[in-house]
Amino acid sequence: MVFINRAKIKFIKLSRMLLIPRGHLVLDVGSGDGPFARANILCDKYISETVNRVGPISIDRPFVAGDILALPFRDNSFDYIFCSHVLEHVDDPERALNELMRVGKRGYIEMPSEFLEKLKCSPGHRWYVNINDSTLIFKEKERDVFDPFIQEVSESRLINKDKSFMKFYWSNYYTIFNIAYEWSGKINFEIFRNTTIKPSILQEQGLKKTEENRPDTEGISLKIKAAIKSIIKIIYHKDIDLYELIACPICKGSLELKEEKLFCYNCRKGYYIRDGIPILIESYSFNI
């Protein structure tokens, strides 16, 4: 029954891919180690290892190193933006959401719900998230772990360990444990900040727990998923001139390509291209 319920969620995700028209240009923001198969372009802030994901980053199609708080793309460049399990990590959700609306025409956002975050804290998550009348509600966390005892029980006995619980989890994936938010034109949101306590990011301990909680069936599931993704990538392949879409992450102006570097003469900033990947993050720029 766990397999059947999990398969239903995979089918929902597959259906979401297939509903995007073939000619539409799709961006995956925060693509990480499991990019959206339908995406034509990938964008992630971290190319090297990070505690915010378990596996190594996947770069199997046009890729840009960029920050969701300052996306390095022109206005309205994409027909659809996929953003899954990213916004709960950022310091400024309002800025990130405005960037998604600036760059894309519509899209999909997925995040863990407040209930799941309190049941099983994940490394680096800054926010509890809910949805109310088509509005995303962000509440800044007061501390990393809501309750140490609940966290311990979740880690040691429930998540990916108890079949009855996992049956309940997969059958209530989008009603209790995760939030799925489709948007077109505008993202409705409210943000409530905590002005007293700032949570620290869980480092090696959080990453270790994430690795330990991978289900036993993950190997088989990953092989099936990889085969389906390969087929989808072939079907929806699109020849793209990446440099026609990118922009300065600071001023959103045009960039000039010269000798494996990109230059913004408006900001007087330069950006490196490493192994064919534009590194369009302000903190990695240089003055010109």
> pLDDT (tens digit, 9 = 90+) per residue, 232-279?
766 766 678 999 999 999 999 999 999 999 999 999 999 999 999 999
What is d(CA 90, CA 214) in angstroms, rounded to the nearest whole number? 24
pLDDT at residue 277, as a whole number: 96
Spatial CA neighbour of 28 closest among 76, 61, 52, 56: 61
Instruction: Locate 162 and state its tokens.
Output: 């108890």
CB neighbours of residue 71 within 10 Å? 27
In a 13 Å sphere around the CA of 59, the CA atoms on its Cβ side amount to: 17
**Quick check: helix, strand or coil at residue 105?**
coil
Instruction: Of 15-19, 29-33, 74-78, give the lowest mean pLDDT range.
Output: 15-19
Model confidence band, residue 218 (pLDDT cutoffs 50, 70, 90):
low
Per residue in 127-155, pLDDT tens?
Answer: 999 999 999 999 999 888 899 999 999 99
Question: What is the overall mean pLDDT for the chain?
Answer: 88
